[in-house]
Amino acid sequence: MNKRVIEISSDEEEVKKPKTEEKPESKAGRVPSPIHLTQISDLPPSENVDTVTLRGLIGSKNLIEMFQFNYMMSIEFVLEHVHSDARKTLSSHFVYGYKPGHEDPTSDLEQELRQIKGIDPTKVHLNRTALSRWGSHHSKLMVLVFGDGTLQVVIHTANLIPVDWDNLTQGVWMSPRLKKSVQVGAASTDSSIGHQFKRDFIKYLAAYKTKSTDRAVKLVQEFDFSPVKAHLVASVPGNYQPNGADYRQWGLCRLQKVLQPISCKGGQIVAQISSIASLGPSQSTYLDSVEQALNGQPINSKDKPACAMNIVYPTVQEVQESLGGYMSGTSIHLKRQQPQEKKQMEYIGPRLRKWAAVEAGRQRVAPHIKTYFRTTPDSRALRWFMLTSANLSKQAWGIVNKTKGNQWIQSWECGVLVTANMFGYDSFTPIYKKDCGSDPGVYIRMAYDIPLTRYSSGDKAWSSHDTYRDPDWLGYSWVEYFPGVHGPHGPQNG
């Protein structure tokens, strides 16, 4: 019987693949998880069943062109994971953000490029997009083109730097390998989920207005997206008016539009994120708007959110005991030092739930993944599930003006939302340590355990802005500072 291995051998040296369980042959009635976790370097094979690696994504010798969109990136790190047969001829595109008036990351990336051996630098294309003062290019996605005439879209949560693909919990969604459309370039009126995804994805790519993204648009237009089963939920910077064509295309308004038709009563809404930004002194300032969108309710309506959300966010002890110790908390952020931040904690604190992931096999793997979902009333199954780059912040999701109704978004974000009925079922079955079970159903690979675990009286939410004298398991204490994880904009929280 064949074993299901996601890793793809990609260089002269043999790639060491984690052992995987015997995977049953595909049968109608059992649908593997559309969401995957990344491989963890310091965990045994039993904890890495069905996991994804960067080499597995871009390591095929048949890869002829790739587009990488990210927040933090090392070109050398990425190209190291490309097959040696493809490296010299591969056309690669990198899209990142920069803030006018600040140091442009392009010069650093160009310098890095000049030092990489064994590639044709003229085939590496750098594309920057301008950001507002508080905005960021936080999206993490790939468009991969293969020599066999197929294309694949990958939406994930990892920066393109070694630490993010090493010992942090990350999530990955991959489209099937898509074939070219029979009628290339023909305008599609198909209302299927896959074709709607294609239209939304093209709009997202076109919003960049760079040479590389214009090329990506032309390529994507040639392919048949009918096998795709997901909604694109993304954010594109801008000020969108209620009567504008793109008002419900991005951000909170997009999220609300996707969830509005999904009938959900009871259960609980969960937001698992790695950063909680400044949301305002009271719940009504901003959090109510997010919860209304997650309930599919009109944003800023007089009706209170039908279901409040719980927030999965790691405690100090969980970061302290993680594989990377305190250093794992570099990209996990929450501020509570200033008076307004303390005020925010009054309504955020009761919602916090621990990063409890023993059954999921990720208890000691600090989270950089971002997920949102809604459970069924008995909390045993899930109605919908979203993997995204978006944390809990105004910049990521946008602010809907309570008076004028316009939506202001500052950051680029990208995610996918899947519903169980896309796969012919009423709900997803949570599954741990593998992607598919033996019973009929559609599964969701969980990075943490449900039911959720409340903070105890002695638990404190992790903040990289605090000082922790008590050493982590590696013997290091933590002094409030950012210890040198640098990307295009210096120390990061991506």
480 pLDDT band (50/70/90 cuts)?
confident
252-280 residue pLDDT tens: 999 999 999 997 788 999 999 999 999 99
pLDDT digits (tens, 9 = 90+) for 356-403: 999 999 999 999 999 999 999 999 999 999 999 999 999 999 999 999
Q: What is the pLDDT of residue 349?
A: 97
- At residue 182, the pLDDT reads 84
Residue 57 clears pLDDT 80, i.e. is over it: yes
Residue 61's pLDDT is 97
Residue 3 has pLDDT above 90, yes or no: no
Is 90 exceeded by the pLDDT of residue 144?
Answer: yes
* Active site positions, annotated: 138, 368
At residue 277, what are phi and psi to the nearest 5 degrees?
-85, -170
- Burial status of residue 110 (CB atoms within 10 A of its CB: 0-12, 13-18, 19 or more): middle
One-letter amino acid of 145: V
Closest C-alpha to 47, from 38, 56, 55: 38
pTM, two decimals, is 0.92
The CATH class given to the 30-221 domain equals: alpha beta
Binding residues for substrate: 140, 370
Please give the pLDDT value at position 263: 73
Q: What is the pLDDT of the chain when averaged over all its residues?
A: 91
Terminal Cα-to-Cα distance of the chain (whole angstroms):
41
The CATH H-level superfamily of 231-445 is: Endonuclease Chain A (3.30.870.10)
- The Cα–Cα gap between 46 and 41 comes to 12
For residue 118, pLDDT over 70 is answered with yes
pLDDT recorded at residue 65: 98
Which range has the worst mean pLDDT, 29-38, 294-303, 388-397, 473-482? Answer: 473-482
Cα torsion 14, 15, 21, 22: sign: negative
The pLDDT, as a whole number, for residue 2 is 38
Token pair for 161? 């730097």
Q: Does residue 417 carry a pLDDT above 60?
A: yes
Tell me what pLDDT residue 265 has.
82
Q: Residue 451: which pLDDT band, with cuts at 50, 70 and 90?
A: very high
d(CA 306, CA 220): 38
Asked if 48 contacts 71 with a C-beta cutoff of 8 angstroms, the reply is no
What pLDDT was estimated at residue 337?
86
Give the span between the Cα atoms of 319 and 325, in whole angstroms: 6
> Each residue of 164-201: pLDDT tens digit?
999 999 999 999 999 999 875 544 556 799 999 999 99
Question: Taking 50 as the threshold, does the pLDDT of residue 482 lie above it?
Answer: no
The residue among 43, 7, 414 whose CA lies nearest residue 249 is 414
| Residue 188 pLDDT | 53
* Residue 276 near residue 318 (C-beta atoms within 8 A): no
Task: List, by residue range, all CATH 3.30.870.10 domains of the chain.
Answer: 30-221, 231-445
Phi and psi for 419 in degrees, rounded to 5?
A: -120, 150
Q: What are 299-308's contacts with CB under 8 Å, separation 24+?
A: 299/252, 299/253, 299/256, 299/400, 300/400, 300/402, 300/405, 307/264, 307/266, 307/267, 307/268, 307/269, 307/374, 308/269, 308/351
For 197-234, what is each residue's pLDDT tens digit?
Answer: 999 999 999 999 999 999 999 999 999 999 999 999 99
